[in-house]
Chain A
Amino acid sequence: MVQARPQSTVEAAVRPIRKRPRPLPWPLSLYQAYVGKKWVMAITGVIGLVFIAGHMFGNLKLYMGAEEINHYAEGLRTVAYPLVPEKFLLWVMRVGLIVAFVLHVHAAYSIWSHNRKARPTSYASKRDYIAADWASRTMLWTGPIILLFIGFHLADLTWGVNAVNPDFVHGEVYDNVVFSLSRWPVATIYVVANLALGIHIYHGAWSLFQSLGVNNPQINQGRRIFAALFALAIVAGNISFPLAVMLGIVE
């Protein structure tokens, strides 16, 4: 802790960009620091990755026909029923996802606004980046794109908002998907959004190891490969649905 003491002109010329917050009780105190926020982003990112992977694999049932996927969708509502009420675990997952999602977005926003303060004047000349790749520098673009897309996707295929998907019928998962994706603007939105998601994952799935401090010479090489393969699998799986519908493979 720096105490009040006489400052030289050199020291006095540098003012903090952030006031140190008054400590909250543990574990909230973790979230007060940006290192902690990054940690939370990584944890919530892992939750998101697990969900995204599960979502994508589940949806592959689309290729097994209407009955299979409709049955699967119905099954999600009755996990562990009658031990727990119907849709109970679905809602647990949903709430978990919503909390993770809100934390992820809040942390991202807060880091973004802090980092803007850290460099109020940008370089006047053109930067020549070496390591910072396109994915890492566009997280703040791919993130909001995904955010908007999720809203659209929920309106389209979960809530069936009339303005988005007029042909929506509750429970008819297969038909809803085919109806929606056979519209080319919608298919385009799905393709673009999933490319953004892939780019986001390509950086995020590597970056989370650093933020969590999972660093070991024996696995460090593998982290980049893992992130790339993960992103590739998600993009390939998810983009295949609109393409399959548009190309008439799934009808």
Chain B
Amino acid sequence: MVTLDSNIPEGPVDEKWANHQFHMRLVNPANKRRFTVIVVGTGLAGASAAATLAELGYNVKAFTFHDSPRRAHSIAAQGGINAAKNYQNDGDSAQRLFYDTVKGGDFRSREANVYRLAQLSVNIIDQCVAQGVPFAREYSGLLENRSFGGVQVSRTFYARGQTGQQLLLGAYSALMRQVALGAVELHPRTEMLDLVVEDGRAVGIITRDLITGEVASHAGHAVILATGGYGNVYYLSTNAKKSNTTAIWRAHKRGALFANPCYTQIHPTCIPAGDEFQSKLTLMSESLRNDGRIWVPKDQNDTRPAHQIPEEDRDYYLERRYPSYGNLVPRDVASRAAKREVDEGRGVGPKKNGVYLDFTDAINRLGRDVIEERYGNLFEMYERITGDDPYEMPMRIYPAIHYTMGGLWVDYNLQSNIAGLFVGGEANFSDHGANRLGASALMQGLADGYFVLPATVGDYLAGQLGKPLTSTDSECFQSARASVEEQTRRFLAIGGTRSPDDFHRELGKIVWDHIGMERDAAGLEHAISEIRALREEYYRDLRVLGTGDTLNDSLEKAFRVADFFELAELMARDALHREESCGGHFRVEHQTPDGEAARDDEHFSYVGAWEWNGPDAPQTLHKEELTFENVHLATRSYA
């Protein structure tokens, strides 16, 4: 029987982490090298954890399916990273960052974790600056900040529109330094396909070498998964094409609980799909809404080009519905409003799948130069992708999935319910509740990797002293390896007619239509049966050509899509059970009269963590009740 113990330390919230660190057991330097830690994923959380653990003296084995650790999808984060430095003297503090994050998460996150995140945020900036991350600077040479969605202070540090890239390159360089020193054994183009558990303890992983197809066993005293989010279950998302849920899903199937899978975040300003072959969506910084006005034609049959549509035939629907916040309503509200316009046939563009974001007024008011200075690079990117010049033609935008708050359940130590299995970054569920604030993902990944995991993994390892690595010839490894090999054979043997991408696209459409921006019970029920039917077809009609012993793109995808099917069903189930609306989870049945999310704190103030019961039985729900001692539960309002 699974019990959920969040292991939150005693004491006031602002002293919990310090107290906890003091009470944690240590491993002396001579003993550290006796331990092997496996780190899967080399994004912000994975690379920083691997580098730091190696610096401490542990043997680290790092795995990435990319050809280099530097390509992990953290690299695509644009906006920035939050930290409660209060350099702007505008009243920021760890306390305020904590409060903003809990509130932004719609009161569905664990207070103690979030407070620790806020405290560690300042150390992250110090560390990254020392590594040579070229953050934006004032003329004084001191660090510059900007403000970011939904908070009243300027606490976001950034490096042009490429903050994620620069932070990842910092963590990657730290990692490569340890690789050169022989402290980290790096395995690029190697994908984790199973977790090995022995007596309730994670003891290793099974991997597939993507070039040779070799299925190998790797033993470790602890396993860290930092493999990112599962946004690609929607097929079209702002995630990189290869981002997947496989590592955490395999861990889930080995007993790790999956928490809050229905919490997914939509970003309102993405470039709409150009055609049916669109392979992914591109995000445009949210800052565009500061100067752009969003509208659609009033008449759904209006085919005139945007600039020929006179004012009286335009509907600035956000300004009309939300007069006080206008175009600056939060992400979820703006997204749902756009969806409504498009669903009712007033979408714009050749496929009628977007809304206009118009800068004409701003250009007239401020001049083209000012707009160019503020958004020049974004306009350029937009033109590159769409071929339209946003100075002349309004942009077309539409919401897209870009982050998943759910993930493997972890306690305060970022340890899952399987001993020795730790989860960091977007792969865990821990800090963002039901909705993540802008510029907080990078913060969480690095806090986990640089500061939390190296401490808590050490605490766990201290208790493992004297225990040898589990032999990779042992029964648990052999059976896990056999099951991966069996699955490879199975995919290659189906010999059907449809490619993995073809199934993925269809699955993505079901998930987007029913488990997307708005959910309702009937749609979710419908989605479950559709997903099941499609999954059945998948195992009947999949076509994977080639062999298992070379680079085989289709085979890689076949594994990933198979896991997305199972995850999608769980998402629907989780969304169905959560009879409230909160953050990224909006149930049509639960909204206020003016269309806002209606939370139900009385019945749903808990983390929903699901236990795997086999492929044909529904998962069991476990609840971790959330208690709020330091913030007052309030309703978000933007009217």
Contacts and interface: CB of A to CB of B under 8 A. Distances in A.
Interface of A: 1-3, 5-6, 8-11, 13
Given A2-B180, A3-B180, A10 B185 contact: no
20 contacts: A1-B180, A2-B180, A3-B181, A3-B182, A5-B179, A5-B185, A8-B185, A8-B186, A8-B188, A8-B189, A8-B190, A9-B189, A9-B209, A9-B211, A9-B212, A9-B214, A10-B67, A10-B188, A10-B211, A11-B188
A129 to B, nearest CB: 23
A1 B211 CA distance: 27
A6 B211 contact: no
B578 interface: no
Contacts of B187: 8
Contacts, number: 27
Contacts of B182: 3, 5
A81 to B, nearest CB: 60
What 9 pairs across the A-B complex have the smallest Cβ distances? A5-B182, A10-B188, A8-B187, A10-B189, A3-B182, A6-B185, A9-B211, A9-B209, A9-B212
A5 to B, nearest CB: 4
Interface in B65-85: 67
A94 B222 CA distance: 71
Contacts of A10: 67, 188-189, 211
Contacts of B179: 5
B185 to A, nearest CB: 6
A11 B187 CA distance: 9
Which of A2, A8, A11, A13 counts the most B-chain CB atoms under 10 A from its CB?
Answer: A8
Interface in B157-182: 179-182
A6 B211 CA distance: 17
Interface residues of B, number: 15
A2 B186 CA distance: 14
Interface string B193-235: 0000000000000000101101000000000000000000000
Given A5-B185, A9-B211, 12 more contacts: A2-B180, A3-B181, A3-B182, A5-B179, A5-B182, A8-B185, A8-B187, A8-B190, A9-B209, A10-B188, A11-B186, A11-B188
A9 B211 CA distance: 8
Contacts of A8: 185-190
Nearest to B212: A9
Contacts of A1: 180
A9 B185 CA distance: 12
A8 B188 CA distance: 7
Nearest to B68: A10
Which of A3, A10, A13 counts the most B-chain CB atoms under 10 A from its CB?
Answer: A10
A6 to B, nearest CB: 6
A64 B525 CA distance: 102
Nearest to B184: A5
Contacts of A6: 185
Nearest to B185: A6
A3 B183 CA distance: 11
Which of A2, A5, A6, A13 counts the most B-chain CB atoms under 10 A from its CB?
Answer: A5
A3 B178 CA distance: 11
A9 to B, nearest CB: 6
B635 to A, nearest CB: 52
A44 B405 CA distance: 63
A204 to B, nearest CB: 35
B634 to A, nearest CB: 51
A139 to B, nearest CB: 34
B173 to A, nearest CB: 15
Contacts of A5: 179, 182, 185
A13 B210 CA distance: 14
A237 to B, nearest CB: 48
Nearest to B188: A10
A2 B177 CA distance: 10
Nearest to A13: B211
A82 B185 CA distance: 72
Contacts of B212: 9
Nearest to B190: A8
A216 to B, nearest CB: 21
Contacts of B190: 8
Contacts of A9: 189, 209, 211-212, 214
A116 B187 CA distance: 31
